Amino acid sequence: MAYEKERHLMVEYQLRDRGIKDERVLAAMENVPRHRFVGEHLQDNAYDDCALPLGEGQTISQPYMVAVMTELLKLKGSEKVLEIGTGSGYQSAVLSLLASEVFTVERIPSLADRARKLLKELDYRNVHVIVSDGSLGLPEHAPFDGIIVTAAAPEIPQHYIEQLNMNGRLVIPVGGRYSQILYQIKKTPAGIEKSISTACVFVPLIGKAGWQDTEIY
Ligand code: SAM
């Protein structure tokens, strides 16, 4: 009960008051029990206005950033969506309530296993968790109506554009190791429409079309 109240306050003060308008996104984030996606010792901080550690040097993103990125996908409910960077599985659970099918890719097997089990336990049935290098997208399940990348890329991997449906959207943080810009890209018959959303800080997308391990550490 206490978590439900905290979640409601999170939605009202961190999301709605800061300009998140899509009622479906707000309702999904009011619904998903974020505290279940962090370690037990962090459950009381799950609704704080910040990212939290997940282990393996990775993080669950700040609620506001999850909302901004999700809103930019402009989902109506019938879409097939690809998420790169499963992490805790929290963003996948939010997407699961907003789209028809969600594929989520994680490079660290232990995080993918934990997320897969939790998503199953919480009955998010339309989410498929896959271990692979998501910097290459997921060609075997393409095309997608939306692709959301929750790790930072040095540049926009061309694979993502190729794996988008016409009028599909890509949301991705792009930039340097310690700060990036969030881009929204729409694939149209006339070409790519690119717009900038906000500054952000994400952990790196490590892989063939992302950062190399050796460039990071
Ligand atoms: N969306 C997650 C959530 O809701 O908890 C947070 C993701 S965390 C900020 C970024 C994740 O991207 C990490 O779990 C990291 O291991 C993963 N990652 C980094 N490079 C990747 C790659 N090439 N393919 C798949 N996952 C990758």
For ligand 1, whether the C-beta of 200 sits within 6 Å is no
Q: What percent of the chain has pLDDT over 70?
A: 98
Report the C-alpha gap between 2 and 152 in whole angstroms.
34
Please indicate whether residue 199 or residue 215 has the higher confidence score (pLDDT): 199
For ligand 1, whether the C-beta of 85 sits within 6 Å is yes
CA 134 / ligand 1 centre spacing (Å) = 9
For ligand 1, whether the C-beta of 159 sits within 6 Å is no
pLDDT in tens, 39-68: 999 999 999 999 999 999 999 999 999 999
In a domain, 1, yes or no: no
pLDDT for res 216: 54
**8 A C-beta contact, residue 182 and residue 200:** yes
CA 107 / ligand 1 centre spacing (Å) = 7
In a domain, 191, yes or no: yes
pLDDT for res 191: 95
Strand spans (E) along 85-213? 101-106, 127-131, 144-149, 164-175, 180-188, 191-200
pLDDT for res 1: 58
Q: Residue with the nearest Cα to atom 24 of ligand 1?
A: 134
- Phi-psi category of residue 121: left, alpha or beta, with phi > 0 → left and psi -120 to 50 → alpha: alpha
Which residues are annotated as catalytic?
Answer: 61
For ligand 1, whether the C-beta of 58 sits within 6 Å is yes
pLDDT for res 158: 93
User: How many structural domains is the chain composed of?
Assistant: 1
In a domain, 34, yes or no: no
Q: What is the mean pLDDT of residues 176-196?
A: 96
pLDDT for res 215: 63
Q: What is the pTM of this model?
A: 0.97
Q: Residue with the nearest Cα to atom 9 of ligand 1?
A: 59
* Lookup result for tokens 């994400």: 202
Report the C-alpha gap between 159 and 181 in whole angstroms.
19
In a domain, 162, yes or no: yes
**Domain range spanning residue 77?**
49-215
In a domain, 21, yes or no: no
In a domain, 19, yes or no: no
Specify which residues 170 forms β-bridges with: 147, 185
In a domain, 209, yes or no: yes
Q: What is the mean pLDDT of residues 16-27?
A: 98
For the CA of 136, the closest atom of ligand 1 is 23
Q: Is omega for the bond preceding 139 within 30 degrees of 0, making it cis?
A: no
In a domain, 108, yes or no: yes
CA 198 / ligand 1 centre spacing (Å) = 19
Residue 161 tokens read as 């554009």
Statement: residue 217 has pLDDT above 80: no
Report the C-alpha gap between 80 and 102 in whole angstroms.
6
For ligand 1, whether the C-beta of 135 sits within 6 Å is yes
Transcribe 123-136 into DSSP letters.
T-TTEEEEES-GGG
For ligand 1, whether the C-beta of 96 sits within 6 Å is no
CATH of the domain at 207: 3.40.50.150
* C-alpha dist (Å) from residue 88 to 21, 60, 172: 25, 6, 18
CA 132 / ligand 1 centre spacing (Å) = 11
Average pLDDT score over the chain: 96
Please indicate whether residue 19 or residue 177 has the higher confidence score (pLDDT): 19
